[in-house]
Each structure stands twice: as C-alpha cells, then as structure tokens.
Amino acid sequence: MNELARRIDAALPQTQCTRCGYPDCARYAEAVAAGEAGINQCPPGGAEGIARLAALTGQPVTPLHPAHGIEGPLTLAVIDEDWCIGCTLCIKACPTDAIVGSNKLMHTVIEPYCTGCELCLPVCPVDCISLEVVSGERTGWQAWTTAQAAQGRERYQQRTARLAREQLEHDQRQEAKARMKLADLAAHSQHTDPAVLDKKRAVIEAALARARAKRDAA
C-alpha cells in the first residue's frame, strides 16, 4: 500500500462492511488512490468522510453515491438468543470476530467489537439478528471516533491473520496425509490393480505439486 492509500485508509471508519464495493477498507483505499474508485462510495463515512477523502485526493466533493447506500448512525448487531439455532454463519461472516459461540450453541455479540457492518444479517437463516442504533442522531463520522476506527482495523487484521494461519495449518495437514498415503499407497487403498494404483498415485502427486506451487507463490 502506497502512502496516499495509507492516508485514505486512515480516513475511513473501518467498518469493513464492503458496501463500497470492495472486500475491505484497505482495498477501497488502494482503489481510490489508484483512481479506480470514487471518493463517494463509503456510507459509514458519510458526507464528512467524502470531504476527508476530497482533501486527501484533490478531487471535488460529491454526494454519496446512492448505489452504495445512505449515511446512517452507528449500529450494533443484537442476536435474539431465543431464536438463535447456533449455525455459526454469522460468526464466519463477522469481519472483526465480534460474535462468539459454537455450533448448535447460542451466539452473542461482543458489543465493543461490533462495527455495525450488517454482514451478519443476510446470512442468518432464522432472521434472529437485528440492529440497534447506538449513536443517537449522529451519523457518518459524527457517530464514530478515531479510536473505534483503529480498533475495527486492528480486529479485522487479526481475523485475517488468524484465517490465513488456520488455512495454512489445514493445508499442511492435508499435504502430510497425502504424503503418508503416497508412501504406501497399497496399504491405504481398497484396490490391488496396479493400473488403478498408478492412477491414484498420479492424482496424489498432482495434488502435491499444486500444493507446492501454491505455497511457493504465497
């Protein structure tokens, strides 16, 4: 990320809501810095957010683009625990790990970590999540503090790192399992036909080769 993108990212409220059309605030900042996205695509930042980006980029202030939503207050996700079925879909969707719970057990929101991104709403199969306004009539950046934005960024980065680590560990386990089978394929197969075993060996070797290539490219 270049210096302009870093400054733009620092001017965003860090909800990680994706309403701008990008996967996260950092990716949107990079797109704005590269001239690939407008400065008026962040509903949580609202009019003040647009003014901040205009000052950083030298672009004129324009109204928030309606395709990305409207400026609104800071909200908090609330789970109706009587209706929650413990599906974990909201946990997987939350960009700041603000929802805790386990499979088939009740979930709950850690209030200070919720950015009101709304990403948990569409994935809930029983519509047990609602939003509560927690900033009164204040909207856009008036509803946020710099400390809240910094925390949102930090929580998102921690979650991203955790997911990458878990994926790496999963890939390593799968690769170790494949190598174990390859070392003694006959003992790990119900087939005894040499031609079938050769075909399975080729499939496993190809999978290992793809894993190596993916690891080298990372």
- Boundaries of domain holding 54: 3-68
The CATH number covering residue 14 comes to 1.10.15.40
Same domain, 82 and 139: yes
**pLDDT per position as a tens digit, 121-165:** 999 999 999 999 999 999 999 999 999 999 999 999 999 999 999
Residue 55 has pLDDT above 90, yes or no: yes
The model's pTM is: 0.81
Same domain, 60 and 83: no
User: Domain boundary at 143, 178, 203, which?
Assistant: 143
Residue 186 has pLDDT above 70, yes or no: no
Question: Under a CB-based contact definition with an 8 Å cutoff, are residues 31 and 4 in contact?
Answer: no
Type of residue numbered 52: R
Q: Are strands 129-133 and 75-79 parallel, antiparallel or unpaired?
A: antiparallel
Residue 201 has pLDDT above 80, yes or no: no
> 210: burial class by Cβ within 10 Å (0-12, 13-18, 19+)?
exposed
Residue 181 has pLDDT above 90, yes or no: no
Domain tally for the chain? 3
Residue 218 has pLDDT above 70, yes or no: no
Beta strands in 45-176 (DSSP E): 75-79, 99-100, 108-109, 129-133
Same domain, 137 and 108: yes
Same domain, 137 and 184: no
Same domain, 80 and 139: yes
Q: Are strands 108-109 and 99-100 parallel, antiparallel or unpaired?
A: antiparallel
Helix axes 46-57, 25-33, angle to 10 degrees: 40
Neighbour count for residue 133 (Cβ, 10 Å): 15
- Per-position b or e across 26-60, b if 16+ CB within 10 A of its CB: bbbbbbbbeeebbbbbbbbbbbbbbbbbeebbeee
- Per-position b or e across 145-173, b if 16+ CB within 10 A of its CB: eeebbebbbebbeebeeeeeeeeeeeeee
> 116: burial class by Cβ within 10 Å (0-12, 13-18, 19+)?
buried
In three-state secondary structure terms, 52 is helix
The CATH number covering residue 134 comes to 3.30.70.20
Take residue 182 and report the two structure tokens written for it: 């390859």
Residue 188 has pLDDT above 70, yes or no: no
Take residue 86 and report the two structure tokens written for it: 């413990």
Residue 73 has pLDDT above 90, yes or no: yes
